[in-house]
Amino acid sequence: MRGFFKGNKSRFYTQVTAAVLLTGVLTACGSSSEDGDGTSASVWDQIQEEGKIVAATSGTLYPTSYHAEDSDELTGFEVEVLREIANRLELEIEFSEMGIDNILTAVNNGRVDIAANDIDITEERQEKFTFSEPYKHSYGSAIVRTDDLSGIETLDDLEGKKAGGAATTVYMQIGIDHGAEEVIYDNVTNDTYLRDVENGRLDVVLNDYYLQSLAVEALPDIDVTVHPTLAYFPNSQAILMKKDETELAEHINATIEEMLEDGTITDLSQQFFGGADVSSEPDVEIQE
């Protein structure tokens, strides 16, 4: 990966070892099929045969995966990255919209081929899934009330605060590790979170800095703000695939590298992140 974050990255990776809780027996229903000679075809072979790749995403996470205003069109930074990858691999792409908990399960049991939804690369997830090369780098921030920053200056101040999010995200686990009371939401849009911080149902929403900055900017009528000094958990995001799908990963990685080198990902980043280039690691002071 390019560059270095300021601060201790390894500590935060060890804090999120319980971030992905996949319970029950996950069956591989459709992850492979048998060729005429009785051997199992790889996911990549099946994708090529069908001429289509199926991708899971939420459709509710602005600006990485969302529906354009007054339109059913799915768009966003990662949606367009996936579309371009499929185009360069000469494949059609089909999106399946679902919440993050279902996304992880759908990849694991073969209902979808890949997933992208600002999914953080963590050691725990790398044990269960295959990740592409990263194309986005960021760090954690917090949406809080404007008047008093919800009484939060450092991560230690999360003790007893009500933190909203999906059950199995890295950010929810960070909140829990620092004593926050979790308030679980399903696949809801940003305005729901922000209004609940404003009205006191929540104290804080922990999430990606770039996503939070644009969400607050897009909803100026809601009296919340991105915390001005809280920066933690340097992270990178990538495409998620089923464990050991090395052939599929090789084709996707080669395409991502090409798109990084020719500036396509930078152009898409600047389009969706207000001019920011999220393909480069930000230079910020990280709280330890």
Written as six digits, the tokens of 169 are 């995200």
- Cα→Cα distances 118→42, 176, 207, 208, 271, Å: 26, 20, 10, 8, 16
Compute φ and ψ for 109, nearest 5 degrees. Answer: -100, 5
**Side-chain half-sphere of 86: how many Cα atoms within 13 Å?**
22
Report the top-level CATH class of 9-20+42-136+237-272: alpha beta
pLDDT at 40: 64
Written as six digits, the tokens of 35 are 């060729």
Estimate to the nearest angstrom the gap between the alpha carbon of 63 and the chain centroid: 11
Residue 246 CB neighbours (<10 A): 12
Comma-separated ranges of CATH 3.40.190.10 domains in the chain = 9-20+42-136+237-272, 138-233
Relative to beta strand 240-242, strand 114-115 is: antiparallel
Running DSSP on this structure, what letter comes out for residue 131?
Answer: E
Q: How many residues does the chain have?
A: 288
pLDDT at 21: 33
User: Does a cis peptide bond (omega within 30 degrees of 0) precede residue 134?
Assistant: no
pLDDT at 288: 66
Beta-ladder partners of 67: 74
Model pTM score: 0.77
pLDDT at 68: 87
Which stretch of DSSP H or E encloses residue 92?
strand 92-97
CATH superfamily of 138-233: Periplasmic binding protein-like II (3.40.190.10)
**Whether the Cβ atoms of residue 213 and residue 126 lie closer than 8 Å to each other:** no
Q: How far apart are CA 107 and CA 98, in angstroms?
A: 12
Residues with Cβ within 8 Å of 181's Cβ and at least 6 positions away in sequence, in order, are: 160, 161, 162, 163
Which residues of the chain fall below pLDDT 70? 1-40, 288
Q: Is 97 exposed, middle or buried (0-12, 13-18, 19+ CB in 10 A)?
A: middle
